[in-house]
Amino acid sequence: MRLAVGYLATPGGADAVALGVRLARSLAAELDICMVLPPDRGVPAMVTTGGYDELLAQQAHEWLADALATVPDDVVAHAHVSFSDSAADGLLSEVRRLGAQAVIVGGAGGGLVGSFTLGSVVNDLLHSSHVPVAVAPRGTRSSSAARVREVTCAIGERAGAGVLLDVAVRACERAHVPLRLVSLVALDPMFGSLRGDAEASRERALAHAHRTLNEAKESLPEGFSVTATVADGSSVEDAVSRLPWHDGDVIMVGSSRLAAPRRLFLGSTAAKMLRVLEVPMIVVPSTADQEVS
């Protein structure tokens, strides 16, 4: 199994490598740390095209050497440099070339979104990747968690939930960690709604969570640890904030129904969760052709 890390010589890049190490160690995978450089457009006149590319590549290899130096000896890691007009497209091309089952990126980038500050490259990946995308929140590099502690799977009733659950179950089996199924319910009713509507919604979500729990149990080895809970609140952000989280936890969410086949599209619920989450999020395509397993 191989996991690709989209790397920049930034704190966000260090977060991505740290999460990559944690996932690789947990899943018995090899790590491919990838840098995508811009092509030679806009090269200063005093530098030859070949020289410019060589300078970029040399600097990239130095950055990658620094990144590899942070990877512990028990994790096998490789470094790669490529050129592309689009960093996201270039990274996904590397994922295909390497046969990686997932891509890992740092959330630190552009506009502030809680512990995640999604830059344009990460945003592009979350709307176009054909493999699961793991996003490391700011500060992951300072975490003491050596391995994944527990996988939380945010379940829903939309198409693709079965694929998400299957990927989560297989990841838990491979990493030998427990699975927590979560159904998020925002209980702030629309104006004019009856109070009973919110409770009815919660009851439906609870029933759905238990149905999914039973389905998950059928897929898990006997004695495997799995729990299910409904998290409710006045909003999605409030609901997810009420859940207990620990260092080493990760959450898996499904792609939006708006996604093209075998592609991601970050839905509104997942985007809201990113505003308050302090644990890594793994977004899984609704028709995944690769597995985090």
Same fold, 1-140 and 148-282: yes
The amino acid occupying position 17 is: V
- The arrangement of secondary structure in 148-282, i.e. its CATH architecture, is 3-Layer(aba) Sandwich (3.40)
Contact call for residues 39 and 50 (beta carbons, < 8 A): no
Domain-wise residue ranges, the chain? 1-140, 148-282
The residue count of the chain comes to: 293
Q: What is the pLDDT along the chain (293 residues), one digit of tens a residue?
A: 999 999 988 898 999 999 999 999 999 999 999 998 887 644 444 444 455 667 777 888 899 999 999 999 999 999 999 888 888 899 999 999 999 999 999 986 543 334 444 567 777 887 788 899 999 998 999 999 999 999 999 886 555 567 888 899 899 989 999 999 888 776 655 444 455 666 776 677 667 767 776 776 776 777 778 888 888 777 888 888 899 999 999 999 987 644 444 444 566 777 788 788 889 999 998 765 444 55
Q: Which homologous superfamily does the CATH classification assign to the domain defined by 1-140?
A: HUPs (3.40.50.620)
